[in-house]
């Protein structure tokens, strides 16, 4: 199973789909991940109703050890979820909101690594091509989109905050916290663009400096070869023109 950068810090609670807001009647799956002790964890939660209890809710829900699936979720399932071992050790927490609203903001439920690209999606319960989507951070409008998406190309600590979205007609989502963690490893394996640029500049410099030396070496080699051929030719001609004299006594 592939881990997100945050879940490299085990134990970890993962949620699928990876977002913090859901419509009523959606299905979510929560999994405790710990490669060293994969069977010793259970999903726990604290809902708005209060109290701590195992993860389970209504029809269509199952709880199998370290994985809990909740079907037909209700607003009463909103709350804080985490993994807990038999020894009382706890993982990270995930705050989940199930709403009766007709608009939700799809944002990562887990912290994202600094420098990673993050896409926020504004999703309406009823699709329409006429929707205009507005995105807000800490109650300030920061972007408008006709596609319902807003991308933060390189997340930093300054991007942390409460995000929400709205669609034309005045309907809006609840707010969710986007967390950015500088201690997490980058989520992309591609080298940074700056490094590529620096490497290209260095290669160009090496070519500009090294090419004249290479050409000079080749030219000197050709001159030396021609001179050696000329010397051999002269020697052969002289050998043919020599006269051998014999003196008889």
Give the model's pLDDT for residue 184: 62
Which position has the higher pLDDT, 91 or 3? Answer: 91
> Which domain-ending residue is among 43, 69, 100?
100
pLDDT by residue (tens digit) across 46-72? 877 766 777 764 444 455 557 888 888
Residue numbers of the domain that contains 21: 1-100
Closest CA to 52 of 13, 16, 88: 88
Residue-level pLDDT at 217: 62
Give the helix ranges, DSSP H, for 9-62. none
Q: Which of 79-83, 148-152, 163-167, 192-196 has the lowest mean pLDDT?
A: 192-196
Closest CA to 57 of 42, 43, 71: 71
Structural domain contains residue 245: no
**What pLDDT does residue 76 have?**
87
Percent of the chain with pLDDT over 90: 39
Asked whether the beta carbons of 90 and 83 are under 8 A apart, the reply is yes
Q: What is the mean pLDDT of residues 146-155?
A: 94
Indicate the residue among 153, 174, 189 that finishes a domain.
189
**What is the DSSP code string of 149-172?**
EEEESS--GGG-EEEEEEETTTEE
The verdict on residue 248 lying in a domain is no
CB 23 within 8 A of CB 171: no
**What's the mean pLDDT when you consider all of the chain?**
77
36 within a domain of the structure (yes/no): yes
Distance of alpha carbon 118 from alpha carbon 17, whole angstroms: 15
What's the pLDDT score for residue 214? 60
Any domain includes 60: yes
Instruction: Please state the pTM of the whole predicted model.
Output: 0.65
192-223 as b/e, with b when 16 or more CB fall inside 10 Å?
eeeeeeeeeeeeeeeeeeeeeeeeeeeeeeee
Q: What is the pLDDT of residue 194?
A: 40
Q: Could you tell me if 134 and 174 lie in one domain?
A: yes
Q: In terms of domains, do 6 and 95 share one? A: yes
Tell whether 96 and 1 lie within a shared domain. Answer: yes
Question: What digits encode the pLDDT tens for the residues 180-231?
Answer: 988 765 554 344 444 334 344 445 544 555 566 566 666 666 666 766 776 6
- Look at residue 218 in the predicted model and tell me its pLDDT: 60
Q: Are residues 33 and 90 in the same domain?
A: yes
The total number of structural domains in the chain stands at 3
- DSSP assignment, residue 192? P
Residues 183 and 205 in one domain: no
The CATH number of whichever domain residue 111 belongs to comes to 2.60.40.10
- The pLDDT tens digits for 35-47 are 665 557 888 888 7
Average pLDDT, integer, range 121-143: 90
If pLDDT is split at 50, 70 and 90, which confidence band does 238 have? low
Burial (CB count <10 Å: 0-12, 13-18, 19+), residue 24: middle
Q: Is residue 244, in this structure, part of any structural domain at all?
A: no
Residue 134 in any domain: the answer is yes
Kindly list the distances between the CA atom of residue 187 and the CA atoms of 14, 58, 110, 153, in Å, as whole numbers in the listed order: 16, 36, 13, 12
Residue 205 falls within a domain, yes or no?
yes
- The pLDDT assigned to 106 comes to 96
| Listed residues 100, 123, 157: the one ending a domain | 100
pLDDT of residue 40: 74
Residue 36 is classified by DSSP as T
| Average pLDDT score over residue span 116-123 | 95
């Amino acid at each position: 199973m592939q881990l997100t950068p945050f879940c490299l810090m085990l134990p970890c609670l993962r949620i699928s789909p990876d977002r913090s807001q859901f419509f009523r009647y959606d299905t979510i799956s929560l999994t405790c991940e710990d490669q060293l002790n994969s069977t010793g964890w259970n999903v726990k939660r604290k809902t708005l109703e209060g109290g701590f209890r195992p993860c389970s809710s209504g029809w269509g829900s199952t709880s199998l050890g370290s994985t809990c699936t909740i079907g037909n979720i209700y607003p009463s399932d909103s709350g804080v979820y985490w993994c807990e071992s038999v020894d009382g050790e706890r993982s990270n927490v995930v705050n989940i909101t199930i709403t009766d609203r007709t608009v939700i903001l799809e944002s990562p439920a887990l912290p994202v690594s600094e420098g990673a690209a993050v896409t926020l999606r504004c999703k309406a319960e009823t699709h329409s091509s006429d929707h205009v989507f507005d995105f807000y951070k800490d109650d300030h409008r920061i972007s408008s989109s006709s596609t319902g998406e807003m991308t933060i190309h390189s997340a930093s600590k300054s991007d942390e905050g409460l995000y929400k979205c709205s669609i034309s007609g005045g309907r809006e989502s609840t707010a969710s916290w986007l967390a950015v963690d500088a201690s997490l490893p980058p989520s992309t394996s591609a080298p940074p663009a700056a490094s590529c640029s620096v490497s290209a500049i260095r290669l160009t410099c090496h070519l500009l400096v090294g090419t004249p030396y290479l050409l000079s070496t080749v030219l000197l080699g050709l001159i030396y070869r021609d001179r050696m051929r000329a010397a051999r030719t002269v020697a052969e001609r002289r050998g043919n023109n020599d006269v051998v004299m014999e003196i008889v006594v």
